[in-house]
Amino acid sequence: MSAPSVHAFMAVLQRDLLLAMRRKSEVLTAVFFFVVVAALFPLGIGPELNTLRLVAPGVLWVGALLSSMLALQRLFEADFRDGTLEQMAVSPTPLALLVAAKLLAHWLVSGLPLVLLAPVLGLQFDLPVEALLTLTLALLVGTPILSLVGGIGAALTLGVRGGGVLLSLLVLPLFVPVLVFGAGAVEAQASGLGSQAHFSILLAMLLPAAFFGPWACASALRIALE
Amino acid sequence: MLTLSDLSCSRGHKPLFAPVNLTLQAGQALHLEGDNGVGKTSLLRIVGGLSPADAGEVRWMGHSTREDPQAFRTALFYLGHALSLKEELSALENLLSDAAVAGRALTPADAVTALARMGWRGREHLPLRVMSQGQKRRTALARLWASQAPLWVLDEPFVALDVKAVDALRARMAAHVTQGGMVLFTSHQAVSLADAAGQALDVRHYRLEPAA
């Protein structure tokens, strides 16, 4: 990779992070949504600790999934409207690389906070320390998959009227395996089976997503620009 | 050298303009004319590689830009209707991040100079959100002072600019052409270019005709 390409990658990453800092409310909405969903469940279910422990991984994972869906819709929207995407497309740096920078920035502002908040929110469900650790690790591996696969959906539905609903229909089924193995990791750990197999499968999903995701996004974005 | 051969484009099964054949040599400016809706923007987007042509091809230095986009994009500066500016960022931040994405080296000092050329005095650090439409366009066009790309493709660069900014932009385009650059632009006004000595430069015209 040449020096200007690395420079361009860093510039996109830096710009998106800076924009996230200046548009705090947009970023915080998705994170706040996650916190509220996770906080409402124990109140709704009641103080039965065994039930809470049982539903905790599923509730937190579904919360993370829906929260990342909320954030996805804005991933390329602003860049598409103000012409930034056009400039990225005519840049000599490969579009896939610039998109990878955008996806990384997106995960840092919408995925990483969920990972960091999960152990705190897990306390409300009376999860033991080992389960909290497994949950956090599973989210750390799983949320990038949500950003990468979701990014493809966001790129495909860009500029489509009612794209938000279409995006959910397109992307949510693809999130199912991540949900199953992400939440399953905590249960497997709690039942004494060990969560290694679940982590292997999550990683096996992450690696191809990281490799092909930006490339697929870039192709979809070029179609959206035509 | 930029060559467009038999380029055509259609909207809804109907050809938009008559096939375009033209060449642009180093040191030439070409004013693309045509009525509203005839497809000037579409043509520029095809040239920039953003949209595909229905037929024909765009060649840069003899190579098809579809086959070798990398070399062409290094040589291209494209500015469409959308200005690619972020309202939350200042003019300076916009210019710097844009240059990095386009693979151009630009120091903050040079960026301030470029903005000054386009009539910015101070306020480079305020977010663009509080600036007028004209000032936003000036920011977008200030990139021309930071660009070393030989081919400029500009869609309506003179819109919403005041007289001073129009003069500055014309001077910059003239300087680019005298240095052997190429400019392909659209405008609904007559545009004359003159070099530093006041000598009028030849601006070629190409009128885009609607398809028969």
Element (H, E) at B154: strand B151-154
Burial B81-99 (b: 16+ CB within 10 A, else e): ebbbbbbbbbbbbbbbbbb
Name the strands in the sheet holding B55-60, side by side, starting at the edge strand that comes first in the sequence: B20-24, B2-8, B55-60, B63-64
- Predicted local distance difference test score (pLDDT) of residue A1: 59
Say whether pLDDT at B29 is over 70: yes
How far is it, in rounded angstroms, from Cα A69 to Cα B151? 41
**Using a CB-CB distance cutoff of 8 angstroms, which residues of chain A are in contact with residue B58?**
none
DSSP letter string over B41-109? HHHHHHHTTSS--SEEEEEETTEETTT-HHHHHHHEEEE-SS----TTSBHHHHHHHHHHHTT----HH
- Record: contact A15-B89, CB cut-off 8 A: yes
Residue A144 makes CB contacts below 8 A (sequence gap 6+) with A107, A111, A206, A209, A210
Q: What angle do CA B190, B195, B198 make, to 5 degrees?
A: 90
Residue A26: per-residue pLDDT = 84
Residues B47, B153 contacting (CB under 8 angstroms): yes
d(CA B170, CA B173): 5
Average pLDDT score over residue span B9-31: 89
Q: Which of A18, A87, A226 sits opposite B101 (nearest CB)?
A: A87
C-alpha span between B182 and B26 (Å, rounded): 6
Q: Above 90 in pLDDT, residue B122?
A: no
Structural domain of residue A25, as residue ranges?
3-225
Mutate to test the interface with B, among A90, A95, A102, A226 (most CBs of B within 10 A): A90
Residue B195 above 90 pLDDT?
Answer: no
Residues in chain A closer than 8 A to B70 (CB atoms): 92
User: What is the pLDDT, as a whole number, of residue B12?
Assistant: 81
**Chain A residues inside the 8 Å CB shell of B86:** 15, 19, 82, 84
What pLDDT does A94 receive? 93
| Counted domains in chain B | 1
Q: What is the CATH number of the domain that holds B65?
A: 3.40.50.300
| Chain A residue closest in CA terms to B96 | A11
Q: How confident is the model at residue A190 (pLDDT cuts 50, 70, 90)?
A: confident
- B49, B67 Cβ separation under 8 angstroms: no
For residue B212, being part of any structural domain is answered with no
Percentages helix, strand, coil for chain B (3-state, rounded to 5) are 35, 25, 40
- Confidence tier at B123 by pLDDT (50, 70, 90): confident
The pLDDT of residue A112 is 95
- The pLDDT of residue A177 is 95
pLDDT at A4 over 80: yes
Total domains present in chain A: 1
Identify whether B193 is part of a domain.
Answer: yes
On the question of pLDDT at B196 being above 80, the answer is no
B114: pLDDT strictly greater than 70: yes
Residues B53-108 pLDDT 10s? 888 999 999 899 888 888 899 999 999 989 899 999 999 999 999 999 988 888 99
CB < 8 Å to B127, chain A: 22
Q: Which candidate from B81, B85, B103 shows the least CB-CB separation from A91?
A: B103
The CA distances from residue A37 to A43, A106, A118, A177, B194, in Å, are 10, 21, 12, 21, 65
pLDDT digits (tens, 9 = 90+) for A102-140: 999 999 999 999 999 999 999 999 999 999 999 999 999
- Beta bridge partners, B201, equal B193
Contact present, B72 and B60 (Cβ < 8 Å) = yes
Q: What residue in B sits closest to A4 (Cα-Cα)?
A: B103
pLDDT for the residue numbered A40: 93
- Single pTM value for the model: 0.93
Domain that residue B129 falls in:
2-207
Scanning the structure block, which residue is given the tokens 């949510």?
A172
Per the DSSP assignment, residues forming a β-bridge with B22 are: B4
Among the partner-chain residues B93, B101, B127, the one whose CB lies closest to the CB of A8 is B101
Q: Per the domain annotation, does B70 fall within a domain?
A: yes
CA B194 to chain centre: 18
A143-189 pLDDT tens trace: 999 999 999 999 999 988 888 889 999 999 999 999 999 999 998 98
> Residue B113 class from Cβ within 10 Å (0-12 exposed, 13-18 middle, 19+ buried)?
middle
What is the pLDDT, as a whole number, of residue B148? 87
Residues of A with CB under 8 A from a CB of B: 4-5, 7-8, 10-12, 14-15, 18-19, 22-23, 81-84, 86-93, 98, 225-226
